[in-house]
């Protein structure tokens, strides 16, 4: 071999007798033509396969498709629908996904946003050309709970496909396929990554039907796929997901109770509080209530900003699901959204010690309201 050839081929140490315990990172974009081999990384890659396999098992599905972001995962579903399809989506929906439907799909899909916490609203909305019901539960940012099995059975009677965005619940706390969804979606940027350092999305299907084949075509041919490195890191993160979720939810419950009793808090949105409208449904369909919560203070937007500014352990930033606690005044992101009051604060509870977090909140309330 000459130097140019050695530079390219000299580093390969792959042998049949070397069996690592951890799936190695396969950055190669292409594979030797061989019976049963993978072909090209846009279509398939060992690390993506690893991620898709573990996610399909966690959700009790038959197949999964990983994407470069949660929105790319949602987009693959929307692109797989025939033009002109009537799509029903929740009024409280992750705003980036809502914007995707309202901008990119304007004139291509007929999108209708309704309150899915009342199943009669769904019954009234279904039409001849309804093709998809998009559920998001618990929802972002108002933590609305939709009854997946009740909605899915109405959809099924009408031949409507059901996709559930389970990002807030994770497969640890909600099994959307078992409850009746055809496909479950996650922004793996959030709890699945858990460390605020990977962007990703994933779909898991109950059945490998024609609709799923369309989605797989969008994944492989449109190619918004995650890198092998990101897939590797997500697979690594998933190993601790159940343990992280327990710590997140333990803290969130305690913070929700602290806020619920606080004299300067008007209302707390957390499905694990018995006063929450969706508490009963959440108790039935979830194994735990997750770690996202929102609340309204007895004050204005300035007071909310002041409170947030006084916190030591909660960073003032958007996104969620990382081990560190985050907080934001939600209308800074959902600018001008009439459904989001100016003083609404959304919190992603991390896995720090809950006493430190509560003490931090307590001092920030005291300085904000001189109480
Ligand atoms: C963040 C989020 C998304 C979008 O995921 P990205 O990875 O940011 O593209 C979708 N749904 C929910 C509920 C989210 O929180």
pLDDT band with cut points at 50, 70 and 90 for residue 270: very high
Same domain, 194 and 271: no
Of 238, 273, 298, the domain-final residue: 238
Same domain, 200 and 183: yes
User: Does residue 196 line the site of ligand 1, with CB under 6 A?
Assistant: no
- pLDDT exceeds cutoff 90 at 6: no
Confidence (pLDDT) at 19: 80
Same domain, 282 and 316: yes
Confidence (pLDDT) at 16: 78
- pLDDT exceeds cutoff 90 at 312: yes
- pLDDT exceeds cutoff 90 at 371: no
What is the residue with the minimal CA distance to atom 1 of ligand 1? 187
Same domain, 232 and 258: no
Confidence (pLDDT) at 5: 83
pLDDT digits (tens, 9 = 90+) for 217-230: 999 999 999 999 99
pLDDT digits (tens, 9 = 90+) for 121-137: 999 999 999 999 999 99
Confidence (pLDDT) at 128: 98
Q: Residue 195: name the closest of 324, 28, 282, 46 by CA.
A: 324
Confidence (pLDDT) at 172: 96
Same domain, 249 and 232: no
Count of the separate structural domains present in the chain: 2
C-alpha span between 45 and 134 (Å, rounded): 29
CA distances from 244 to 123, 192, 238, 249, 345 (A): 38, 10, 10, 9, 23
Residues designated as active site: 42, 94, 165, 190
- Which atom of ligand 1 lies nearest, measured to the CA of 321? 15
* Ligand 1 center from residue 331 Cα (angstroms): 17
pLDDT band with cut points at 50, 70 and 90 for residue 321: very high
Same domain, 96 and 148: yes
Same domain, 233 and 255: no
Confidence (pLDDT) at 126: 98
Stretch 128-153: mean pLDDT: 98
C-alpha span between 207 and 62 (Å, rounded): 6
pLDDT band with cut points at 50, 70 and 90 for residue 57: very high
Same domain, 254 and 217: no
* Ligand 1 center from residue 135 Cα (angstroms): 13
* Ligand 1 center from residue 101 Cα (angstroms): 14
Same domain, 46 and 157: yes
Same domain, 204 and 308: no
User: Does residue 89 line the site of ligand 1, with CB under 6 A?
Assistant: no
Number of C-beta neighbours around residue 281 at 10 A: 19
Confidence (pLDDT) at 3: 78
User: Does residue 97 line the site of ligand 1, with CB under 6 A?
Assistant: yes
pLDDT digits (tens, 9 = 90+) for 221-261: 999 999 999 999 999 999 999 999 999 999 999 999 999 99
What is the residue with the minimal CA distance to atom 7 of ligand 1? 70
Same domain, 218 and 248: no
Q: Which of 72, 97, 187 to mutate to test the pocket of ligand 1 (most atoms within 8 A of CB)?
A: 187
- pLDDT exceeds cutoff 80 at 170: yes
Q: Which domain holds residue 185?
A: 3-238
Same domain, 125 and 154: yes
Of 175, 209, 238, the domain-final residue: 238
Of 238, 266, 295, the domain-final residue: 238
């Amino acid at each position: 071999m000459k130097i140019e050839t050695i530079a390219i081929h000299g580093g390969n140490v792959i042998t049949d007798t070397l069996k690592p315990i951890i799936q190695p990172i396969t950055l190669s974009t292409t594979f030797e033509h061989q019976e049963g081999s993978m072909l090209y990384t846009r279509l398939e890659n060992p690390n993506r396969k690893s991620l898709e396999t573990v996610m399909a098992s966690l959700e009790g599905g038959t197949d999964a498709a990983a994407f470069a972001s949660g929105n790319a995962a949602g987009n693959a579903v929307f692109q797989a629908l025939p033009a002109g399809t009537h799509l029903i989506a929740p009024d409280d929906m992750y705003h980036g996904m809502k914007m995707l439907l309202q901008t990119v799909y304007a004139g291509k899909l007929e999108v209708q946003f309704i309150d899915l916490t009342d199943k009669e609203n769904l019954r009234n909305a279904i039409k001849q050309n309804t093709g998809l019901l998009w559920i998001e539960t618990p929802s972002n940012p108002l933590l609305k709970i939709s009854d997946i099995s009740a909605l899915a059975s109405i959809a099924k009677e009408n031949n409507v496909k059901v996709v559930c965005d389970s990002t807030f619940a994770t497969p640890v706390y909600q099994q959307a396929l078992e409850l009746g969804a055809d496909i479950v979606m996650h922004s793996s940027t959030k709890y699945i990554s858990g460390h605020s350092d990977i962007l990703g999305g994933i779909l898991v299907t109950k059945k490998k039907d024609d609709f799923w084949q369309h989605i797989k075509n969008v994944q492989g041919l449109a190619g918004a796929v995650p890198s092998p490195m990101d897939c590797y890191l997500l697979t690594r993160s998933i190993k601790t997901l159940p343990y992280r979720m327990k710590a997140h939810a333990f803290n969130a419950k305690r913070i929700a109770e602290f806020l619920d009793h606080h004299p300067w808090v008007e209302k707390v949105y957390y499905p694990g509080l018995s006063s929450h409208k969706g508490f009963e449904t959440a108790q039935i369909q979830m194994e735990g209530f997750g770690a996202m919560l929102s609340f309204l203070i007895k004050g204005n937007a300035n007071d909310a900003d002041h409170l947030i500014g006084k916190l030591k352990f909660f960073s003032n930033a958007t996104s969620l699901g990382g081990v560190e606690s985050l907080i934001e005044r939600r209308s800074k992101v959902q600018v001008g959204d009439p459904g989001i009051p100016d003083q609404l604060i959304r919190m992603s509870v991390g896995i720090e010690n809950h006493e430190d977090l509560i003490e931090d909140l307590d001092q920030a309330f005291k300085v904000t309201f001189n109480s």
